[in-house]
Amino acid sequence: MRERDISRLSISCHAKLSDVCRRNTPKNSMKIIDISLRTLAETCVLGPRLVLPLRDFLGNLTGKNYNHAEFAPAPPFNGTYGETTNLRGGKPFVYCGAGLRKLDFPLKTLAFACDVRCYVPVYLTDAARDRRKPDVTLDRLITVEPKRDRGHYHLHAIHTRRLAPWKVQKLAKLGVSCERLDLSVFSPTAYENAMKFYVGLRLSNIELLRVQAAGIAAILRRSSETPLKKRLERLLMAMEARPDLRATFQCVRCDLDDLYRWTYAAIVLGYLPVDCDYSVAPHLPIRLLSSRRRNSHVSTG
C-alpha cells in the first residue's frame, strides 16, 4: 500500500467514533494506570515486544506509518522548529519549541517505549473527526506495556501546556494517561547518555539491529568492572578469530564502531538493562539496573 493510500485510509467510511474505539481499545483502557516518566522502571516492561495494530484505539496510525508532521503546529516566525531522525525507521520527529526538541532525545532512546509519536490528534466526538479538527493534539504519545497488564499496550501522553480538566478526564476514560512535561525527570547523565545513543544510532534503523543487539547484550549482561571499550575490543578480537561467532551476529566483517552501535541499540531496545543515571562511556564499566527495579525487564511476547 502506498504511503498516500495509508495516510488517507479511513477506519470505516460510515463507522461511528465510538464503534472504532470499542473495536480497537485494549483490555486495560478503562483502568486507571499510574504511569509517568519517573516511574517507568517500576511500572512498565523494559524492551516491550508488542505487535501493535495498524491503528491504535484512538484511530491513529502507529509505528513507521505515522506522519509526525501532519498535525504539527505551523513553523513560527521566531522560535525553535525542525525535524530529528526517527531511530526506528519511521518518518522524522517534528518539534516546535526548545522543550520538545530536548525531550525528543531521551524519548526516542527510551527503552520502555515501543512507539513514540509527535503531535497525535485525539477526536472526542464524531463531529470533530468529520471536520478533521482534533479536540486535543497531544505533543508526544508513547506506547508502553504495563507490568500489571502484560501483553497489552498503554498510551501515555506528554504535553507542554496545561490541558483542560475535562479533556484529561475524557482521555482517561479512553485509556490515555497524561503528564505535563518536566525535563527534570531526566538527570543530566541520563540526558547525556540519550544524546550519545542518538548520535551513535542516527544513521541506523535499530529495528534491523535486533539480532546484533540481542547477541551483544548476552555478553555485556555479565557483571564486570572492566571498562566497556576493553570488553568490546576483546569481543572484536574473538570475532576476528572465530567465523562461528561472526555468524552469530550475522556479519562478515565489523569494527569497533559497529560494536558500539550494537551496544547502544541493545540499550535502546531493552536487551541490555543499563542504569542510565550512570554514564555509558568507553572508559567506564556498564552499570546494570538492579534486579529489583527491572523486575523481569524484557517481555517474552
pLDDT at position 26 is 52
pTM for the whole structure: 0.85
All structural domains of the chain: 3-185 (3.40.1350), 188-294 (no CATH)
3-state SS string for the chain: CCHHHHHHCCCCCCCCHHHHHHHHCCCCCCCCCCCCHHHHHHHECCCCCCCCCCECCCCCECHHHCCCCCCCCCCCCCCCEEEECCCCCCCCEEEECHHHHHHHHHHHCCCCCCEEEEEEEECCCHHHHHHCCCCEEEEEEEEECEHHHCCCCEEEEEECCCCCHHHHHHHHHHCEEEEECCHHHCCHHHHHHHHHHHHHHCCCCHHHHHHHHHHHHHHHCCCCCCCHHHHHHHHHHHHHHCHHHHHHCCCCCCCHHHHHHHHHHHHHCCCCCECCCCCCCCCCCCCECCHHHHCCCCCCC
232-270 pLDDT, tens digit per residue, is: 999 999 999 999 999 999 988 999 999 999 999 999 999
Residue 31 pLDDT class (50, 70, 90 cuts): low
pLDDT at position 102 is 93
